[in-house]
Amino acid sequence: MNEKSQARKDRLIKGLIIILFLGGIICLVIPFAKRALLSYRIESVSVQQTLSVPTNEVSQGSVIIQPPTLSETLALYRHQPEASLGRLVIPDVAIDVPIFPTLINENLLLGAVTMFPERDPNQENLVLVSHHLWNETLLFGPLMNVQPGQAMFLSYGDQVYQYRVTEIKTVPATEISVMDNRQLGELTLITCDRPTLTDQRLVVNGTLVKEEPDEIKEKMHNAQEQGVKTISDNRLIIRHFGWLLVCVFIIMLVLTWIVIKL
C-alpha cells in the first residue's frame, strides 16, 4: 500500500514538473511568436488603394494606442484591410506604409491612419498616426532616426506631395494641440516614443515643398524602389526567426519526453 502511494505521489510530482516546464516554455515562446506573426503580416499584406478621398469628416473608432496583444495579432490575420487613401514614404529612414481613413487597431497595425482624412494637404495640417513596435524597422518605428531637412513623400488620392522635416519633438500623450489645423500645408506624424506602454508621443512635423507633380512622382517612385531591398531583408529575417521558433518547439518536445522518462 505504501509502495502504491509512493508511486502515485511520484507520478503526481512528475506531472507537476512537466506542467510547470511546459508552462515556462510557452511563456517564453509566446512573445517571440507574436512578434514573428505580426512582422510577417505587416510585411506581406496586400492593400488596395482608392483614388477618392473623403470630403466629409470620417467617424473614427475609439482606440487606445498601445502594444498589440496576442489575440489582436491573431485577429489581424482574419482582418480584410480596407482600401488605403495613399502611401507615406520617407526614404532616409526606409518608411513606406499605406494610409487608412479609419482609426481602428487593425489599420494601425498595417500602416498609418489619417486623423482628419477630409483635410486638404495643400493648405491644411494632415495628421498621421501609427504604432512604434519592438521591430523598429516597421510602421513608424524608424521615425526615431528621422532628421530635420529630410524629405517625406505622400500620395493621397490621385495627388502626390513632398514635405521637408522641420521639427521633431516629444510631447505628453494628452498634448493634442499638435493636431491643430493651422491652415498651412503641413504633415504631422505621431507615434509612441518607445515600443512599450508610455505616456509620451514622438511628433514629426514637415512643411509642404512646392514642386511639379511629375518630379515628385519620380522621386517617390525612386524612393520606393530603394525600399524594396529593405522589405526583402526584413522578410528574410522573419523567415529565419520562424525557423528558430520551430527548433525551440522541437527542443521543448524532446526535453518533455526526457522528463517523462526520468
Q: State the DSSP code for 66.
A: -
How far is the C-alpha of 170 from the C-alpha of 204, rounded, in Å? 9
Clarify whether 192 is annotated catalytic. Answer: yes
Q: State the DSSP code for 49.
A: B
Clarify whether 132 is annotated catalytic. Answer: no
**CA neighbor of 213 nearest in space, from 250, 149, 158:** 158
**Which residue reads 503580416 in cell numbers?**
41
- The one catalytic residue in 192, 221, 240, 247 is 192
Residues with Cβ within 8 Å of residue 51, at least 6 apart in sequence: 157, 158
How far is the C-alpha of 117 from the C-alpha of 53, rounded, in Å? 7
- Three cell numbers written together for 19: 506542467
**Which residue reads 499638435 in cell numbers?**
178
**CA neighbor of 76 nearest in space, from 48, 55, 105:** 105
Please, are residues 201 and 191 in contact by the beta-carbon 8 Å criterion?
Answer: yes
How far is the C-alpha of 169 from the C-alpha of 25, rounded, in Å? 40
- The one catalytic residue in 27, 79, 131, 221 is 131
How far is the C-alpha of 4 from the C-alpha of 41, rounded, in Å? 53
Please, are residues 61 and 102 in contact by the beta-carbon 8 Å criterion?
Answer: yes
> Residue 8 pairs with which residues in a beta bridge?
none
How far is the C-alpha of 191 from the C-alpha of 134, rounded, in Å? 13
Q: Which residues are catalytic?
A: 131, 192
